[in-house]
Each structure stands twice: as structure tokens, then as C-alpha cells.
């Protein structure tokens, strides 16, 4: 079948895409920025895959879609993008529907959240509004409503992981008693694939969930048991939604906007209405513990194919980040250091293993302090880590950096800062003529940008000298 896929650079979209291609389908991926779409994982599917550039919040970018598509997936989600996400989501859904109505598409498949409670959070109400906007007489709409999605790299999994692994004792809000019904990412993909072309799913909605109904507290404690960690959770009624949001934001890798909306959603029970869709599609629903174990296995094997922060979130460069691929030379401050190296492969291993659990090789406590300051001012901090400890691709995040260019063959890695700074910052590593060149570039904005550079200059001297010395050592 010929399939139209939105959200192809996001957590769900990346995983669905490879399954569609493996299934022999022809896929047109709709992305906001083609430069962000990494084709390297799909080199064996060149004849099946094409990419177009659409921004559904901007109708002027919506070029015509091939009219012979049969199935379309709507996987666009704006919750972490901005405070007024509900308006943005409605506009996006309306423009998407108008685009698909001009084709011969038979079915649109939409993944959303479970919305069967009488009092919905702003987030869940927005998802319901999108569902209404997608209704059309031109095609059949199949809606899959999922609760908490558990899988390596999912927002829910990473938040639970951060909380459990970092806090031996948790003083938590009363919403930890709220009930939910988590589902494994593997099952979500099976449902998304399974409903394709199934006429009995046309113009219907289905709740999809695993077999376990748990409170958030039970989910945290079960995670701790699986990791063989002893954890104590104390629920208190005095934490306001705002304080709860900040608590979640500072402890975990989530953004504040996402934390705020998650807290609002966590007040609402998210339990699925029973249906026989899994039985009809022959899907074996995984219990919560099994989904955790599969996630741990993927992490240990360095086989995490996507993460929730692959889709750039609410960072100010999210739409045009690739405009910064060329490092400027005029009107900038630079810190350039060079070292001769004896073992090129060992140095490359360290360069392409930088960040995350490996740290930055020198003065990691200062990197950690900078991450904490970044969080304090609403930035991303260091908690994102990296998706894979061995490989790096353009578009990946590494702590508070975004990878713009990564080529081991060309011996070059270029990072762009997503931390809060009064300007734009790049960090580049490259090897040429037996030398390692490490270059930090900062383009200041206004007087505060210049003052910032001079304020951190003494720390740069210490940090960057130590880092290049460690990178150029003849050891891993």
C-alpha cells in the first residue's frame, strides 16, 4: 500500500516507519524540516521511501500530496512545543484534513490519549478536539486512544526512570494515587499496523492499553523492584499543580511546558474502556513488568531506536535549527585548541562517545553545574543524556546540545547549543593531518551576550583545555 506518514521524526513515527518499510509498503514521510530527516537507517528502502516538507501550522507550506495514497497516519503532537498548544493542534489537524481530502485516501489513523473521563485536562481535551477536527466525509477515521506508553526512550518511561533512579525517598503529590493503564510501545506499533485497511475500524475509536490497571505510585515502585532499588514514596496533599510541575521539571529530563501538562493529566484516571480489538488483531498485550524488561534490554543493547526528545520540543531553534549548520566566522567569539594525536581511532571513539553517561571527560562537575543553572532558567539541562552510547546521528540530542553533523569517516562532529544562552553556540571536533581541532564558537546577542562570554571565559580555559587533553590521550 501507499502510505502517508506524519510525525516521522518523532518517537512513535520513527518506530512505525521502519515497520511499514519492512512490511513492503511505499511510504511518503511528511516532516517539518527535511534536513532533520536522517536517511541513513533506511538506505535499503530507497525505492519505497520519499520525504516531503510540510508544516501543518502554516498552510502556505502545504504542497499537494500524491492523490493515490491509501492510508494516512496523523502522529503530530504539540503538547511540549508551546504554552498555547491546544490552538496549534487544532490548526494543524484542520490543515492536515484539508490536505488529505484532496487525495483518494481511504483511511486516516490517529493516535491520541484515552479521553473517557468526564473532566479532562487541557492536554486530553486538546487531543479530543483534534479528533473532532479530523472527522471528514472524504475518508474514514480510525482513532486509537492510548494511555501511558512504556518503552525505551518514551517520555513516560524516562520520567519514571529519572524519578526512581535518582530519588531514594520521594515526597510526591497526591496524584500518585491516580489510576492509569500503561501499554508497551511494541503493542502500540502492532495496533497502528493492525488497523490498516480494516473496514471494521472505520469511523470508530478504540482504547488501547495493557492488561494492568495501576496507580502512578505502583508504577514507580514496580520499576524500583525491577531495578532492585529500595524506594520510599510519601504522598502529601499540599503540593500545588505549579509546585508539582517544577518538581517534575527539575528532577527529570522533561521540559517545564511538558511537565505542567503532564501534571494536569495525572489528576485524571486514564483507564481503558474494554473492547475486543486486540483479540481481533491477534495482539498479545504485554504486562507492565514485561514492557519494563524489554525497555531495559533495549537500553543495555544500545538499541534505542527513538526517544521522546527526538522531536526538538520547545527549544527556540526547533523549526530552523539546520540554518545553523554553517558555523559563522564573523561577529563571533572563538575558543580554538589543537593537539597532536597518536591514536586516531581511540580519539574518534572518545569524540563519538561524548556526553551522557560518559560525560565530557574533564570537569564534569562544572558541566553538571551548568546543566542545573540551565534548568533553573527554563532550559533543557543535562538530563536528556544521549540515545545511544556508541553511535551519533545528525538530529540526536546530547545533553543540552543538538547534533548538527556527525561523520566518523570525515572525522567531524558538530554540536549546536540548546541551553539558555544570550546568543548561539557551537562546539566542533575534527581530526586533520594528525591533529585534533576543538573549536567553541559563540555568536552573542546584544551587550548581555558579550558580558556572558567574558564571564565564562575563565571556566572555558579550564574546561576546554582539560577536555582536549583527555580526548587526545592515547587511551580510551
User: Residue 72's pLDDT band (boundaries 50, 70, 90)?
Assistant: very high
Q: Same domain, yes or no, for 234 and 263?
A: yes
Residue 312: the pLDDT is 47
Which has the closest alpha carbon to 5: 270, 183, 192? 192
Q: Same domain, yes or no, for 35 and 156?
A: yes
Q: Which range in 165-174, 347-356, 386-395 is most confidently predicted, on average pLDDT?
A: 347-356
Q: Same domain, yes or no, for 60 and 185?
A: yes
Last residue of a domain, one of 277, 309, 341: 309
Residue 117: the pLDDT is 59
Q: Same domain, yes or no, for 335 and 225?
A: no
CA distances from 428 to 77, 314, 351, 440 (A): 32, 24, 10, 6
Residue 337: the pLDDT is 94
29-58 per-residue burial string, b: 16 or more CB within 10 A, e: under 16: bbbbbeebbbeeebeebeebbebbbbbbbe
Q: Same domain, yes or no, for 284 and 379?
A: no
Last residue of a domain, one of 253, 286, 309: 309
Whether residue 302 has pLDDT greater than 60? no
Total-model pTM: 0.73
User: Residue 320's pLDDT band (boundaries 50, 70, 90)?
Assistant: low
Q: What is the CATH number of the domain that holds 65?
A: 3.40.50.720
Q: Same domain, yes or no, for 70 and 135?
A: yes
Whether residue 475 has pLDDT greater than 70? no
In the chain, what is the straight-line distance between the N-terminal and C-terminal CA atoms, in Å? 48
Bigger pLDDT: 92 or 429? 429
Q: Same domain, yes or no, for 303 and 420?
A: no
Residue 319: the pLDDT is 46
Residue 194: the pLDDT is 96
User: Residue 317's pLDDT band (boundaries 50, 70, 90)?
Assistant: very low
Range from 1-15, 76-90, 443-457 carrying the lowest mean pLDDT: 76-90
Which cell is 177 given?
A: 494515587
Residue 416: give the domain boundaries.
315-472
Q: Same domain, yes or no, for 375 and 441?
A: yes
Domain count, the chain: 2
Amino acid at each position: 500500500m501507499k502510505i502517508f506518514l506524519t510525525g516521522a521524526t518523532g518517537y512513535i513515527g520513527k518506530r512505525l516507519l521502519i515497520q511499514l518499510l519492512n512490511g513492503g509498503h511505499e511510504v511518503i514521510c511528511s516532516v517539518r524540516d527535511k534536513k532533520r530527516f536522517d536517511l541513513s537507517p533506511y538506505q535499503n528502502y530507497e525505492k519505497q521511501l520519499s520525504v516531503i516538507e510540510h508544516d501543518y501550522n502554516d498552510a502556505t507550506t502545504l504542497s499537494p500530496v500524491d492523490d493515490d495514497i491509501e492510508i494516512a497516519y496523523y502522529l503530530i503532537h504539540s503538547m511540549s512545543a508551546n504554552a498555547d498548544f491546544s490552538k496549534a493542534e487544532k490548526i494543524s489537524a484542520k490543515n492536515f484534513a484539508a490536505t488529505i481530502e484532496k487525495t483518494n485516501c481511504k483511511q486516516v489513523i490517529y493516535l491520541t490519549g484515552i479521553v473517557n473521563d468526564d473532566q479532562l485536562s487541557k492536554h486530553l481535551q486538546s487531543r479530543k478536539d483534534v479528533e473532532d477536527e479530523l472527522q471528514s466525509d472524504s475518508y474514514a477515521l480510525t482513532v486509537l486512544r492510548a494511555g501511558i506508553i512504556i518503552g525505551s526512550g518514551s517520555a513516560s518511561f524516562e520520567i519514571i526512570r529519572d524519578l526512581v533512579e535518582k530519588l531514594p525517598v520521594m515526597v510526591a503529590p497526591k496524584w500518585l494515587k491516580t489510576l492509569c493503564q500503561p501499554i508497551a510501545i511494541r503493542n502500540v506499533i502492532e495496533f497502528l499496523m493492525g488497523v490498516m485497511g480494516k473496514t471494521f475500524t472505520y469511523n470508530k475509536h478504540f482504547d488501547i492499553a495493557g492488561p494492568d490497571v495501576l496507580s502512578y505510585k505502583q508504577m514507580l515502585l514496580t520499576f524500583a523492584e525491577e531495578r532492585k532499588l529500595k524506594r520510599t514514596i510519601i504522598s502529601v496533599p499540599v503540593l500545588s499543580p505549579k509546585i508539582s510541575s517544577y518538581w517534575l521539571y527539575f528532577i527529570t529530563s522533561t521540559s517545564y511546558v511538558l511537565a505542567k501538562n503532564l501534571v494536569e493529566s495525572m489528576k485524571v484516571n486514564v483507564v481503558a474502556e474494554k473492547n475486543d480489538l486486540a483479540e481481533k488483531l491477534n495482539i498479545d498485550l504485554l504486562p507492565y513488568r514485561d514492557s519494563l524488561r524489554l525497555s531495559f534490554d533495549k537500553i543495555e543493547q544500545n538499541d534505542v531506536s527513538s526517544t521522546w526528545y527526538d522531536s526538538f520540543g520547545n527549544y527556540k531553534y526547533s523549526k530552523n535549527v539546520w540554518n545553523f549548520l554553517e558555523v559563522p566566522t564573523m561577529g563571533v567569539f572563538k575558543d580554538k585548541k589543537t593537539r597532536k594525536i597518536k591514536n586516531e581511532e581511540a580519539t574518534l571513539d572518545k569524540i563519538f562517545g561524548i556526553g551522557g553517561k560518559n560525560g565530557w571527560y574533564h570537569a564534569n562537575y562544572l558541566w553538571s553545574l551548568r546543566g542545573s543553572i540551565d534548568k533553573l532558567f527554563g532550559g533543557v539541562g543535562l538530563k536528556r543524556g544521549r540515545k545511544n552510547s556508541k553511535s551519533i546521528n545528525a538530529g540526536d540530542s546530547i545533553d543540552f546540545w543538538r547534533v548538527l553533523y556527525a561523520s566518523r569517516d570525515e572525522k567531524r562532529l558538530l554540536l549546536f547549543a540548546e541551553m539558555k544562552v544570550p546568543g548561539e553556540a557551537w562546539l566542533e571536533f575534527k581530526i586533520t593531518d594528525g591533529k585534533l581541532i576543538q573549536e567553541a564558537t559563540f555568536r552573542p546577542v546584544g551587550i548581555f551576550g558579550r558580558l556572558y562570554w567574558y564571564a565564562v571565559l575563565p571556566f572555558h580555559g579550564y574546561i576546554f583545555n582539560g577536555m582536549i587533553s583527555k580526548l587526545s590521550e592515547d587511551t580510551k
